[in-house]
């Protein structure tokens, strides 16, 4: 393993004999000509450099050996030995497959973002799109059964063996899906993961030159960082899509405030209003505007990642600019400015819908910490805040809360914000376009997209947190797990029943409200499937569990498939991006039932129909949306085997 080196060394501390990332780790660089006799100082420096290289090479190896000797797998439900290996081993053993060899093969081919299967943990590659490769805290040994891609790698082998036993001829199991190519031809060394490792700011760091995003742009400098903004007309289009789609489902920004501040940025940068023509000069903005420029770039990235564009590069150039402008140590942690938290919310959403789950989990975790540092979790300290600022703090806090729980559930890891740490009321049902900075708040409106959606989303977040606390947490006793699942599932089912009754009595007033109700309902159904995934995949799964999971999966797929043929679907990029994330579990459930062929005939016919509908929705979206492309790559082998069994 090459030695760890600083990606952005300080000019004052950089020495010509210190090894850089581009040099060979086998020996230090030459510091004197071969014809010159080295001085004592040069010899000393060479020895010191060699020692540093040796330590950098040996210490990580020794550390990994010690960890492998001292770490003992947990016996809790989250450890893979119980989360998936118990059920998978049982199925493999009953099918005559060598369990130890199968486990080794499955881990060797696992490229999911939740598991790191290399002999040496890989570090996050920020220049390559696709599933994250950032290693887990305990690689291959810490992934709850609720993880988004959890036991998919082994399922392909299990299904293939079951089909062969049943006399169905299937082609060999194909290799694991490959990562997509890098969006840029040249390499990129941002120097942070996910924030910079130095205290440098845009004004003090080495001048950075980034590749401009696709489309017409305007060049601007912030300190020494050269970045690009969309032309005014394109910028307005970005904001229109963001506030009609993204912000209605993650309401962390106020539209009027954002438009006012971005207008100021364009005016300071180019000296013209958004209806005039730009000047040919390359303007320089104050470094103090870097955080807000980063927020603007994050908005552009979120819009691109949910719009039908190239699934490999959508929004990535904007995201890189945002990271270059502001990093881990430049985000403010005090005061009333919530820009840092808003940046992290948007970036975690971008990374999540792009398939970089580990990075999204890290980003939303930092957002939770900043909420605590800003005091957003305790409204008792807001006595000096204006009504507008109180309203926005409520929105930012609860959006972070929901995003944290949902991403943690996706990754199968603990969440960062606990219910007992929050003493904040829910925001009123206001129409965001009628809310202005430091002005009296308007009256609540039934046409608001903020409520009751946000409160319903918080209810889902609470259920997701309880799923971790009572089912997947390492301290949960194995014998208590089944009872906890039953209790939680009954409560979710009861909540959904009341939700559907209320929806029938109170018809949605706007198309957005209708989409929000679909999002909430599908999230709840998906959570019910996740709770029972381990039991469903077990070889001894009973008929009651199979029937229940089949009915839930069919109901979820039917809702999404019907929505995909409505007129509003083409104008709903967020809903299109949401669909693949909630179709993942139903496809696994339906594939399991179809291959086992052990459910009642009437339900089996329905499962066949819903399975085809679910895969159809994914295949229609995968060429354009990163989220759909990621789901399709993860499930390609399972879908192929299931389709072979249906022929």
Q: Are residues 642 and 520 in the same domain?
A: yes
581 pLDDT exceeds 50? yes
Whole-angstrom distance, CA of residue 365 vs CA of residue 375: 16
Q: Residue 159 in contact with residue 636, Cβ under 8 Å?
A: no
Is 95 part of any domain?
yes
Q: Are residues 50 and 123 in the same domain?
A: no
- Higher pLDDT: 172 or 261? It is 261
Is 146 part of any domain?
yes
User: What is the structure's pLDDT at 332?
Assistant: 56
Q: Are residues 141 and 50 in the same domain?
A: no
At 72-113, the pLDDT tens digits run 333 333 333 333 333 434 443 443 434 344 444 443 444 333
Q: Are residues 255 and 346 in the same domain?
A: yes
Q: Are residues 24 and 148 in the same domain?
A: no
The residues near 434 (Cβ < 8 Å, ≥ 6 apart) are 442, 445
Q: Which helix (H) or strand (E) holds 549?
A: helix 543-563
User: What is the structure's pLDDT at 118?
Assistant: 38
Note down the domain range covering 300. Answer: 208-379
Whole-model pTM: value is 0.71
Is 402 part of any domain?
no
Q: Of 32, 52, 70, at which residue does a domain stop?
A: 70
At 144-158, the pLDDT tens digits run 444 444 555 555 556
Is 228 part of any domain?
yes
325 pLDDT exceeds 60? yes
Q: Are residues 291 and 367 in the same domain?
A: yes
| Strand-pair partners of 378 | 423
Whole-angstrom distance, CA of residue 151 vs CA of residue 145: 8
The mean per-residue pLDDT over the stretch 478-507 comes to 89
Whole-angstrom distance, CA of residue 142 vs CA of residue 553: 27
Q: Are residues 94 and 235 in the same domain?
A: no
| pLDDT-derived band at 310, boundaries 50, 70, 90 | low
The residues near 356 (Cβ < 8 Å, ≥ 6 apart) are 113, 124, 130, 131, 132
Is 347 part of any domain?
yes
Q: Are residues 56 and 84 in the same domain?
A: no
Q: Which of 73, 79, 90 is nearest to 147 (CA)?
A: 79
Whole-angstrom distance, CA of residue 443 vs CA of residue 510: 18
User: What is the structure's pLDDT at 496?
Assistant: 94
188 pLDDT exceeds 70? no
Q: Of 70, 100, 126, at which residue does a domain stop?
A: 70
| pLDDT-derived band at 163, boundaries 50, 70, 90 | low
Q: Residue 126 in contact with residue 351, Cβ under 8 Å?
A: no
Q: Are residues 254 and 339 in the same domain?
A: yes
Is 450 part of any domain?
no
User: What is the structure's pLDDT at 567?
Assistant: 84
* CA dihedral sign, ordered 445, 248, 561, 539: negative
Any idea what DSSP says for residue 88? H
Is 443 part of any domain?
no
Residue written as tokens 């420096």?
45
Domain count, the chain: 4
Proportion of the chain above pLDDT 90, given as a percent: 35
Q: Are residues 366 and 225 in the same domain?
A: yes
User: What is the structure's pLDDT at 211?
Assistant: 76
Q: Residue 359 in contact with residue 351, Cβ under 8 Å?
A: yes
The mean per-residue pLDDT over the stretch 120-132 comes to 33
Q: Are residues 42 and 95 in the same domain?
A: no
| pLDDT-derived band at 185, boundaries 50, 70, 90 | very low
Q: Which of 79, 88, 87, 82 is nearest to 115 (CA)?
A: 79
Give the other-Cβ count within 10 Å of 442's Cβ.
15
- Rounded mean pLDDT of the chain? 72
Whole-angstrom distance, CA of residue 490 vs CA of residue 483: 11
User: What is the structure's pLDDT at 166?
Assistant: 56
Is 497 part of any domain?
no
* Interior angle at CA 420, CA 328 and CA 480, nearest 5: 105
Q: Of 110, 140, 165, at which residue does a domain stop?
A: 165
Q: Are residues 264 and 233 in the same domain?
A: yes
Q: Which string of DSSP letters, residue by residue, matches 398-414?
A: HHHHHHHHHHHHHHTS-
- Higher pLDDT: 218 or 442? It is 442
């Amino acid at each position: 393993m090459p030695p760890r080196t600083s990606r952005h060394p300080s000019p004052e501390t950089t020495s010509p004999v210190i090894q850089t990332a581009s040099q060979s780790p086998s020996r230090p660089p030459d510091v004197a000509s071969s014809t010159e006799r080295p001085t004592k100082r040069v010899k000393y420096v060479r020895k010191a450099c060699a020692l540093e290289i040796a330590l950098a090479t040996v210490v990580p190896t020794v550390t990994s050996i010690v960890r492998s000797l001292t770490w003992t797998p947990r016996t809790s439900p989250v450890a893979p030995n119980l989360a998936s290996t118990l059920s998978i081993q049982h199925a493999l053993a009953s099918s005559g497959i060598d369990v130890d060899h199968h486990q080794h093969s499955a881990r060797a081919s696992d490229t999911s973002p939740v598991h790191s299967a290399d002999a040496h943990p890989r570090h996050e590659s920020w220049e390559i799109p696709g599933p994250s490769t950032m290693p887990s805290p305990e690689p291959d040994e810490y992934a709850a059964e609720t993880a988004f891609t959890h036991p998919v790698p082994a399922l392909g082998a299990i299904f293939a063996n079951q089909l062969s036993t049943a006399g169905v001829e299937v082609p060999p199991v194909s290799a694991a899906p490959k990562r997509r190519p890098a969006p840029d031809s040249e390499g990129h060394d941002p120097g942070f993961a996910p924030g910079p490792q130095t205290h440098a700011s845009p004004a003090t760091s080495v001048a950075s030159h980034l590749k401009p995003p696709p489309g017409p742009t305007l060049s601007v400098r912030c300190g020494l960082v050269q970045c690009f903004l969309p032309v005014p007309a394109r910028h307005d289009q970005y904001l229109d899509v963001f506030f009609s789609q993204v912000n209605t489902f993650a309401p962390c920004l106020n539209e009027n405030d954002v438009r006012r501040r971005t207008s100021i940025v364009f005016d300071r940068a180019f000296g013209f209003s958004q209806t005039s023509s730009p000047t040919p000069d390359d303007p320089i903005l104050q470094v103090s505007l870097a955080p807000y420029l980063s927020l603007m770039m994050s908005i552009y990235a979120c819009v691109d990642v949910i719009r039908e564009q190239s699934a490999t590069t959508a929004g990535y150039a904007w995201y890189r600019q945002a990271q270059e402008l502001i990093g881990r140590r430049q985000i403010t942690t005090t005061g009333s400015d919530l820009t840092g938290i808003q940046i992290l919310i948007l970036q975690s959403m971008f990374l999540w819908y792009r398939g970089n789950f580990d990075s999204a989990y890290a980003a939303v975790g930092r957002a939770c910490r900043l909420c605590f540092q800003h005091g957003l979790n305790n409204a008792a300290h807001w006595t000096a805040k204006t009504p507008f600022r109180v309203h926005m703090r409520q929105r930012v806090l609860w959006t972070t809360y929901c995003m944290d729980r949902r991403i943690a559930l996706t990754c199968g890891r603990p969440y960062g914000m606990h219910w007992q740490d929050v003493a904040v009321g829910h925001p009123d049902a206001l129409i965001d376009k009628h809310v202005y900075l430091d002005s009296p708040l308007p009256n609540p409106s039934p046409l608001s997209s903020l409520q009751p959606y946000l409160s319903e989303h918080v209810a889902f977040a609470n259920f997701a947190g309880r799923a971790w606390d009572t089912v997947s947490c390492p301290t949960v006793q194995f014998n208590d797990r089944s009872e906890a699942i039953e209790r939680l599932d009954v409560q979710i089912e009861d909540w959904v029943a009341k939700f559907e009754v209320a929806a029938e009595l109170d018809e949605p007033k706007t198309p957005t409200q209708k989409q929000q109700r679909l999002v909430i309902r599908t999230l709840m159904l998906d959570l019910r499937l996740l709770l029972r995934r381990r039991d469903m995949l077990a070889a001894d799964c009973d008929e009651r569990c199979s029937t229940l999971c089949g009915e839930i999966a069919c109901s979820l797929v039917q809702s999404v498939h019907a929505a995909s043929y409505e007129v509003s679907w083409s104008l709903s990029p967020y809903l299109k991006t949401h669909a693949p994330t909630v179709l993942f579990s139903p496809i696994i459930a339906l594939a399991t039932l179809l291959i086992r062929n052990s459910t009642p005939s009437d339900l089996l016919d329905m499962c066949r129909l819903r399975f085809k509908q679910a895969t159809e929705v994914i295949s229609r979206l995968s060429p354009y949306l990163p989220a759909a492309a990621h789901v399709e790559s993860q499930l390609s082998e399972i879908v192929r085997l299931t389709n072979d069994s249906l022929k």
